[in-house]
Structure 1
Amino acid sequence: MPERKVTVAASSGLHARPAKLFVQAAAKQGTPVRIRVGEGKSVPANSMLGVLSLGATHGAEVTGEAVGPEAEAALDALAGLLAMDLDAGEPAGA
């Protein structure tokens, strides 16, 4: 199963606006993606409650996992979002 590790760049972590943008992008992917913080329990990346429950703060390392033919592309797209400061404004193409 492909995985990507990325550090959360948003100054507020995955809360409120950054979480909403991330969840919306995850929902548009062609394959299910799950994320976790550290070695914690993974949650569906397209679940707002799940993502908020992670408590991912600025600088936290999160790991995304996906299966299927579109897994690599989905992980690349979502890792790219997490590496951006989503508090600064909506990323291009969102």
Structure 2
Amino acid sequence: MAERKATIAAEVGLHARPAATFVQTAARAAIDVTVGKANGPQVNAKSILSVMALDVRQGETIVIIADGEGAEELLDELVKIAEAP
């Protein structure tokens, strides 16, 4: 199991286009991926409704967890998306 933390840089937070890009990237992987606010519950990172319901705003930290082959590479990609302005 691999884990990364990322600070949301987009002005809109992890909503709209950033959320869609994040979820689409996670969904391409054949492994389990979850995301949540630091010290909060984890949700399925492949579900747009679940990710948007987290209400992650600019400057907040998220924790992304992936389990399986290719987890490290996937997490690197998801962190880049989360930290993109």
Cα shift readout 1:6-41 (whole Å, capped 9, x = no counterpart):
101111001111111111111112322100101111
Structure 1: distance between partners of 2:28 and 2:69 = 15
Once the two structures are superposed, the pairs formed by residues 7-26 of structure 1 within 5 Å of their partners are 7-26=7-26
Unaligned stretches of 5+ residues in structure 2? none
Q: Percent identity of the aligned residues?
A: 41
Structure 1: distance between partners of 2:69 and 2:25 = 18
Deviating 4+ runs (over 3 angstroms): none
Once the two structures are superposed, the pairs formed by residues 34-53 of structure 1 within 5 Å of their partners are 34-53=34-53
Aligned length: 85
Please state if 1:71 is matched with 2:32: no
| Structure with greater Cα Rg | 1
TM-score, normalised on structure 1? 0.85
Structure 2: distance between partners of 1:31 and 1:8 = 23
Give the aligned CA root-mean-square deviation in angstroms.
Answer: 1.0
TM-score, normalised on structure 2? 0.93
- In the alignment, residue 12 of structure 1 is paired with which amino acid? V
Contact 2:18 2:81 in 1 (8 A): no
Structure 2: distance between partners of 1:77 and 1:29 = 11
Cα shift readout 1:39-63 (whole Å, capped 9, x = no counterpart):
1110111100110111100011000
Please state if 1:83 is matched with 2:83: yes
- In the alignment, residue 65 of structure 2 is paired with which amino acid? E
